[in-house]
Amino acid sequence: MTKKEGAFFTGNYRNLFKELGHSEAEIDARVEDTWNQLFFGDSEMKIYFEEGDDMGYMVDTGNTDVRTEGQSYGMMMAVQMDNKEVFDRIWTWTMKHMYMTEGKHAGYFAWSCQLDGKKNAYGPAPDGEEYFVLALFFASNRWGDGEGIYEYSKWAKDILRSMIHNGENGEGFPMFNPENKLIKFIPDCEFSDPSYHLPHFYELMSLWTYPEDQQFIKEAAAASREYLKTACHPETGLAAEYAHYDGSPNHIRGFGHFFSDSYRVAANIGLDWEWFRGDEWEIENANKIQAFFADKEMEDYRRYKVDGEPFEEKALHPVGLLATNAMASLAADGPHSKEFVEKFWNTPLRDGDRRYYDNCLYLFAMLALSGKFRIWFPEGE
């Protein structure tokens, strides 16, 4: 970290919409309306659905399944919006249907389930576990721990322990490479996904997890900040969906290009800068990403090589890409930073079958750019 000027140290969160002249009342209403449409709106817009008296799930409307990505995102959204009921409903569904207690992935969550809870796969996706851990820590800090699965802080610590230590004493694999401290794409592989790198999350996990795990996850934060410098192209700032540990694109299954997962890198860089002033490089890279997209209309967004060469294939999630480009403005100080925030403000939520991923990124951007994506500390800290 560079200077102690981030929100972690000061408690001050930028409201970029207000900086552009929008009123606090207008901004608050927009955030609330976005949340309400996605969680309680009509069936053509919502992505959250309730089951029974105590459960809820987030639907990937493009694939008609429930993913740990969406469940963990929904929990993070709920704790930021101070809605404990939604948080607990999602967590209850997740623990009932997704948590694995046997086999090589014991301690992790099945990354995809059918809407009735039947597992589509028995492998985990670490981006879900990362968000589960911090959302649970935030829930503990904001609302206090309950009992059983609602003892949030214990579950956060135990999940993170599995992510670090699985496989040390037999069957299984950790989610972090033990030597270089980098998060993996999946536990039983040796390459990464740049959008999984959340140094700002790891900084907080290192404060609240088991003492014996604190140093490892603290070092993971530093390793991720350095890794992103190698994974993002030096001219465009773009990262691939999959990348080797040296940061070079990994073209296995055609995922060595800038596409859907990659969009989150800009958002993560922006939030790391907002919370921790993670690295001066983040300003530079945010400016590069925005410069690359400055002359492109959202309707023309495509798949790109990391050097910027476009494919004919259009972006599956153009609204999500615009949202993350706007979130980059938390770090960017270039000529396009205000432009992207205003463009995002003037863009509505996406409707239709592909709305899930776009609108998850949209709500995160709405929270972050309004100063409402906050660190929740334990009482008294």
Domains in the chain, ordered, with CATH? 1-46+225-375 (1.50.10.10), 47-175 (1.50.10.10)
**Annotated active-site residue in 60, 65, 69, 272:** 69
261 is catalytic: yes
Residue spans of beta strands (DSSP E) within the chain:
48-51, 55-58, 66-67, 112-113, 302-304, 310-314
67: tokens are 């993913």
Beta carbons of 210 and 161 less than 8 angstroms apart: yes
Mean predicted confidence (pLDDT) in 189-208:
98
339 is catalytic: no
Tens digits of per-residue pLDDT, 118-169?
999 999 999 999 999 999 999 999 999 999 999 999 999 999 999 999 999 8
Beta carbons of 344 and 323 less than 8 angstroms apart: yes
Tell me: pLDDT of 355 over 90.
yes
Tens digits of per-residue pLDDT, 45-85?
999 999 999 999 999 999 999 999 999 999 999 999 999 99
**Annotated active-site residue in 65, 88, 130, 261:** 261
Tell me: pLDDT of 90 over 90.
yes
pLDDT, averaged across the chain: 97
Tell me: pLDDT of 3 over 70.
no
